[in-house]
């Protein structure tokens, strides 16, 4: 009996030792992840705090991380400038038109490729080809120019309205939907478009929400295509406007405000306020779609 008790004691000690090692490993991992999170969160907090800091406090060097004196002057100057309003109008148009168009085109083509349609093999190969090879910058510019889209917001919208990776993931997701549901709808007299609208899309909330978020962020952050195709300064989106503010030596030229007003707020605070104004809408929208984020991508990627 003593031998059995000794063996049981050794087993329990081994289990406790393994649990202790697992706990220590988890604590170390959590600590490392917290450090990584801090390297991403602290700069954003610093930018936000600087943007709300009074100019006199910032210039005197009294600011560390929490403002001793709060001020909204930088935001008032940014939001009242015509440069910001023009950039916001451009970005809202590009995002408002581009996001639903992107989702509709990708979802429609993905659903079509999930069914036995004529020419499916060729279309699949064509989509995959665009994922691996691109024409390049110069042919893309010539194409946009021949279409008459130079200095048009649609030059930023149409090239990004369809993506091979998005189509493939959506196709995989649609293939995982049971065929019996669609067959029952066909018996009730539903056509393909009605089946897609009232059967498929309601079952695809996770993947649709995920790629809506992807498209929204992509269009909201439109920069390179705007620099290439937009020639009018009044049509430039927010990211180009922000880039000019960050790099310019005289912010009043970009923000389009009176020089004496610009001199009341340090340019560094103006830059920080512009960053917050541009980033804040996406930060506010993300939490409402975040719950669908991992679920939508994993379902579309694993099944099928």
* 285 within 8 A of 216, measured Cβ to Cβ: yes
pTM equals 0.79
Top CATH class, 73-302: mainly alpha
Specify the 3-state DSSP secondary structure of 82: helix
- Ranges 70-79, 80-89, 255-264, 278-287: which has the least confidence: 255-264
Residues 67-91 have a mean pLDDT of 82
> Over the stretch 159-206, which tens digit does the pLDDT of each residue have?
989 888 889 888 888 888 888 888 888 888 888 888 888 888 888 888
The C-alpha atoms of residue 168 and residue 163 are separated, in whole angstroms, by: 9
Where does the pLDDT of residue 3 fall: very low under 50, low under 70, confident under 90, or very high at 90 and above? low
Where does the pLDDT of residue 80 fall: very low under 50, low under 70, confident under 90, or very high at 90 and above? confident
Distance (Å) of CA 233 to CA 69, 83, 277: 35, 9, 19
> Over the stretch 196-216, which tens digit does the pLDDT of each residue have?
888 888 888 888 888 888 899
Residues with Cβ within 8 Å of 204's Cβ and at least 6 positions away in sequence, in order, are: 107, 170, 173, 174, 177
In a 10 Å sphere around its CB, with 0-12 CB exposed, 13-18 middle and 19+ buried, how is residue 182 labelled? middle
- Rounded-to-10 torsion of CA 204, 210, 212, 214: -150
With a cut of 50, say whether residue 108 has pLDDT above it: yes
Where does the pLDDT of residue 100 fall: very low under 50, low under 70, confident under 90, or very high at 90 and above? very high
With a cut of 90, say whether residue 20 has pLDDT above it: no
- Ranges 56-70, 82-96, 124-138, 244-258: which has the least confidence: 244-258
What is the per-residue pLDDT for 293?
Answer: 62
With a cut of 80, say whether residue 14 has pLDDT above it: no
Helix 82-113 and helix 205-220: axis angle, to 10°?
140
Specify the 3-state DSSP secondary structure of 304: coil
DSSP string across 22-66: HHHHHHHHHHHHHHHHHHHHHHHHHHHHHHTB-HHHHHHT--SSS
What is the per-residue pLDDT for 262?
Answer: 57
């Amino acid at each position: 009996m003593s031998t059995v008790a000794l063996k049981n004691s050794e087993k329990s000690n081994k289990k406790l030792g393994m649990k202790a090692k697992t706990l220590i490993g988890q604590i170390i991992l959590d600590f490392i992840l917290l450090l990584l999170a801090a390297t991403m969160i602290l700069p954003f907090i610093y930018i936000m705090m600087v943007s709300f800091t009074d100019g006199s406090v910032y210039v005197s060097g009294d600011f560390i991380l929490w403002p001793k004196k709060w001020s909204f002057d930088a935001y008032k100057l940014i939001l009242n400038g015509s440069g910001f309003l023009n950039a916001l109008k451009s970005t809202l148009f590009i995002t408002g038109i581009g996001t639903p168009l992107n989702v509709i085109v990708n979802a429609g083509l993905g659903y079509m490729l999930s069914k036995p349609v004529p020419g499916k093999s060729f279309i699949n190969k064509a989509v995959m080809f665009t994922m691996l090879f691109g024409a390049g910058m110069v042919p893309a510019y010539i194409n946009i120019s021949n279409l008459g889209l130079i200095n048009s917001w649609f030059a930023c919208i149409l090239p990004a309205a369809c993506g091979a990776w998005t189509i493939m993931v959506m196709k995989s997701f649609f293939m995982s939907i049971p065929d019996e549901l669609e067959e029952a709808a066909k018996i009730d007299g539903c056509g393909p478009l009605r089946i897609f609208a009232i059967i498929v899309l309601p079952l695809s909330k996770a993947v649709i929400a995920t790629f809506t978020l992807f498209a929204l962020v992509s269009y909201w952050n439109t920069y390179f295509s705007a620099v290439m195709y937009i020639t009018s300064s009044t049509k430039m989106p927010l990211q180009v406007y922000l880039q000019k503010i960050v790099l310019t030596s005289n912010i009043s030229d970009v923000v389009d405000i009176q020089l004496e007003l610009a001199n009341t707020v340090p340019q560094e605070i103006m830059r920080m306020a512009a960053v917050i104004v541009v980033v804040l809408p996406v930060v506010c929208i993300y939490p409402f779609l975040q719950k669908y984020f991992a679920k939508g991508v994993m379902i579309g990627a694993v099944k099928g």
